Amino acid sequence: MPSGGAIFLLEEEVAPGHSDRIMSETAGSSECRGFELRRQIDGLVYRFERRTDASGRIGYKRSDGDFWIVWHAKLGWIAGDRDGEEVFGRPWDQLTGQSSEVPPEGVWVSRKGAKSYVYDLVHV
């Protein structure tokens, strides 16, 4: 996801099995090793792979930069900075009932400054 203006800052609660930041501390039994975010307006594709950060937290890192999609205890899956201070994007139509194992396929939205983008998240 593009960096830029954040949707909002996070003040989160900690759920069992999750750190005080937005990235999960445990790997779980995820079958999804990666996915693509395909921008609807122009077909641009961002690829994400399952990674562990320096603190041992699991998330999905974009292949061309330090952009992450991670599990948040209150918000579910979000696109945000690795330290969990800002949210840049999230699923559009799956705001509740998400599995903490993998980000949901379907429509995602993001914000970069005054612009918003619509993506399709597809597991690969």
Q: What is the pLDDT of residues 25-74, one digit of tens each?
A: 444 444 689 999 999 999 999 999 999 988 888 899 999 998 999 988 87
More confident residue, 120 or 8: 120
Q: 62 - beta bridge partners?
A: 48
Domain boundaries, the chain: 8-123
More confident residue, 11 or 35: 35
Question: How far apart (Å, rounded) are the C-alpha atoms in residues 116 and 102?
Answer: 24
Q: How many CB atoms lie within 10 A of CB 47?
A: 14
Question: How far apart (Å, rounded) are the C-alpha atoms in residues 121 and 88?
Answer: 15
pLDDT of residue 2: 44
pLDDT of residue 31: 67
Predicted TM-score (pTM) of the model is 0.71
70-111 pLDDT, tens digit per residue, is: 988 878 889 987 666 789 999 998 756 778 889 999 999 999
